[in-house]
Structure 1
């Protein structure tokens, strides 16, 4: 940590009030962003998608589970992986606490990955998560929403991620994001919003605690974001051992 000036209580209060004004402006700007997000135009989903679930095959409509809004998290877990992505695991550690509230506010959460269902279920149980996790192994869902890029799906060495075309890297066969859908009374489904790369930070409650502290995130060691994060069952006793990101999720911008 850099040395900080030590001041009187009155001087600290003056500085804190100045920062409070900026914090309020930031919150108001965020409220405006949320309003603009809600006003985005929608796209009707016409392509049929069928997912593998513990209770059998399910359509995209089935995943709403009786609600009108669906939040799908694109969890990085490739077909030949033995574990889910570290960063995605970090994010999903935050889901169940929030889910017990927003499920009573007309919103369903489901994670989706290309790995086979048995791998997803084993990892979900290992992590102690209660949310539903489905496999898109037999659909084009991940490709259509630009979060999976196996070599056979890449042409001319380019891929589209986070709404822009970029050079393809073999390390980026799976990338993170989330997509939101709405279903009307007639059963029509609409894609309302998607967010990728660092946009998922808004869901990371742990960051909200850490960002209040003097040391902050202490990230970007060797240029890597989230270099300190481990799967929650892999921390050592003091919780301070660092690890590199498991894949390209933290490097993507």
Structure 2
């Protein structure tokens, strides 16, 4: 059976025998694997970015009251901050930020790798809580009350900042915005933004990075504290 071209639902498609499909699929798979390896190399470069020490003390409002930046870590060493575009009295919350929120993974997996994920917005806390309830979200979400957003390159839009805490010292390690944020949503994509990465032995990371064998640390999300 020879291949042919036809329109399916008004879109032109090639129809080929199974052997031909396998051959072309194998060629595409080789490119996909190369793309994955390129992403691994990019993440390795990200883990080697220089850091900037955070000198200013920032204030937030959350469910349990006023908080400082070090409180957002919840005792962990790494902090991923998503700057959600929810504004005061926002009549039309950002649909793109809404899609990011809908894709947030179960946070127990990030916590196991010493990383905390939070959302921050300029909207007042009661409006944040009302919108969170509407969306059915449970991630920590804080109101920013000072220059935190603009100091970290988010001025009216959205973005992702990553921080590292060592004792009382806090460092900024990474920032991204635009389409780079649309791929977020899995445990892996978030961990790849952090300075410690996935912490698995196959990763190319700075010397001294804590690592374990692949798959070894994986658990059902309710089994980390009670295996």
Bucket of the pairwise TM-score, normalised by the shorter protein: 0.7 to 0.9
Residue 197 of structure 1 is matched in structure 2 by 178
Q: TM-score, normalised by structure 1?
A: 0.67
Residue 90 of structure 1 is matched in structure 2 by 99
* Structure 1 residues 1-253: aligned runs within 5 Å: 2-95=11-104, 97-136=105-144, 138-148=145-155, 174-184=156-166, 186-204=167-185
Contact 1:63-1:110 within 8 A present in 2 as well: yes
- Segments of 4+ in structure 1 off by > 6 A? none
Paired residue secondary structure (1:24): helix
Aligned length in residues: 177
Cα distance, 1:194 vs structure 2:
0.5
CA distance in 1, matches of 2:67, 2:84: 18
Contact 2:51-2:172 within 8 A present in 1 as well: yes
CA distance in 1, matches of 2:63, 2:22: 55
CA distance in 2, matches of 1:78, 1:130: 19
Return 5+ residue gaps in structure 1 as ranges.
149-173, 206-253
Q: TM-score, normalised by structure 2?
A: 0.75
CA distance in 1, matches of 2:142, 2:182: 23
Q: Which has the larger radius of gyration?
A: 2
CA distance in 2, matches of 1:178, 1:203: 10
CA distance in 1, matches of 2:176, 2:142: 19
Cα distance, 1:83 vs structure 2:
5.0
Residue 212 of structure 2 is matched in structure 1 by none
CA distance in 2, matches of 1:181, 1:134: 16
